[in-house]
Amino acid sequence: MPIYEYRCDACGFQKEHLQKLSDPQLTACPECGQESYNKLLSAAGFQLKGSGWYATDFKGASTASKAVPPPPCQTGEGSCSSCVAS
């Protein structure tokens, strides 16, 4: 269940509430009783850091499928037999 943060516009009281997604939004302030208790918009409480599943499982997959470039031309003009085909 997500944790929602609420603040009362009347008295400034602020508190976090554990609620289901289907629960109605709280409107009555538990401190002063006014109907000015509003849900706040806040950032997520986690960050993906370190060597996680993305870095180990997916990050290198696209680089492994790239073709190896041909060796450089021996004459420097692009006319040797190894680079004529490319």
**Residues sharing a CB contact under 8 Å with residue 78, sequence separation 6 or more, in sequence order:** 84
Distance between CA atoms of residues 77 and 86, nearest Å: 13
Q: Which residues of the chain have pLDDT under 70?
A: 44-48, 50-86
Give the strand pairing for 14-18 and 37-39.
unpaired
pLDDT for the residue numbered 38: 96
pLDDT for the residue numbered 17: 93
Where would I find the H helices in the chain? 53, 61-64, 81-84
pLDDT for the residue numbered 42: 77
Helices H / strands E in the chain, number of each:
3, 3
pLDDT for the residue numbered 45: 67
CB 73 within 8 Å of CB 80: yes
Whole-model pTM above 0.75?
A: no
Structure tokens at 49: 């850091």
